Amino acid sequence: MTVPTTFNELTNLVGDEFRKMPREAIAAIISLSAAIEVFIFVVRLNGGGRDPVVLGLGLILMIGALAVSYLTSMRLIDAPKSLRGFGAYLGTTALTALPATAGFALILAGRYFDNGYFTFAGIMLLLASLAITPLLYPWPLLQAVSPRFIGPREAFRRSAGMRGALLLTAIIFGVIARTDFRPDSTELTLMSVGAITVSLVVNVLSTLFAISVSVAAFKRMN
């Protein structure tokens, strides 16, 4: 029988992992987050990012951020690092984000084609992903260290006993992590610099928190 993990217990476990975060990992996360913030501001300053070069640079920054998360997580769980493991981590992370991405795409399609069915389906898919995704936080780590394929059903099953705690944790911190503090203005003013700084701090803390939650849940499953 699975022993339930309460919200307080999970919070303590996450706090332990947060305090164990290597200094070089924190420095790398801060550097990458700063590069991403500057990149987003420059893209907005120039009126969008449809240019293939800009999109390619954005993709490189995203993969770089995931690479730092992977390397940090492997260190915290004391597991060997490999290109295969990173590929599995990268692919599983993309699959985890797929329902939410599809939901947003359907909502945009509904607005573009003025189709209420698309919009409704997108909202339902988005709500379902918000409920399910937090329960799959450890899935990329489980797949990265496993020589066999671990499906979302198995990852969900192994989260038994901590699903309520994971969901509540995601709701509390997810609102802050998804808040956009970036300035709407395309002018570099003192106010915009302050807003970018706040966004940077939130981005760094949310990244460290996401790693800590994944590692804590992974260790609880194993």
The tokens of 138 are what?
């450890």
Q: What share of the chain is helix, strand, coil (3-state, %, to 5)?
A: 80, 0, 20
Within a domain: 2: no
Distance of alpha carbon 162 from alpha carbon 221, whole angstroms: 9
Say if residues 213 and 169 touch (Cβ distance below 8 Å): yes
Within a domain: 81: yes
Count the domains in the chain: 1
Higher-confidence position of 212 and 182: 212
Within a domain: 68: yes
Distance of alpha carbon 29 from alpha carbon 75, whole angstroms: 15
Within a domain: 71: yes
Q: How confident is the model at residue 181 (pLDDT cuts 50, 70, 90)?
A: low
From the list 202, 199, 208, 209, the residue with the least C-alpha distance to 37 is 199
Within a domain: 189: yes
For the chain, counts of helices (H) and of strands (E): 9, 0
Within a domain: 1: no
* Domain span holding position 86: 7-221
pLDDT of residue 144: 94
Distance of alpha carbon 129 from alpha carbon 196, whole angstroms: 28
pLDDT (tens digit, 9 = 90+) per residue, 93-133? 988 888 888 888 888 888 888 888 889 988 888 888 777 77
Please report which helix (H) or strand (E) contains residue 1, including its range.
Answer: none
Higher-confidence position of 25 and 197: 25
pLDDT (tens digit, 9 = 90+) per residue, 3-42? 577 778 888 988 999 999 999 999 999 999 889 888 887 7
pLDDT (tens digit, 9 = 90+) per residue, 144-169? 999 999 988 888 888 888 888 888 77
Q: Is the pLDDT of residue 86 over 90?
A: yes
Q: How does 22-43 read in b/e, with b if 16+ C-beta sit within 10 Å?
A: eeebeebbbebbeebbebbbeb
The tokens of 131 are what?
């409920």
DSSP state of 146: -
pTM to 2 decimal places: 0.83
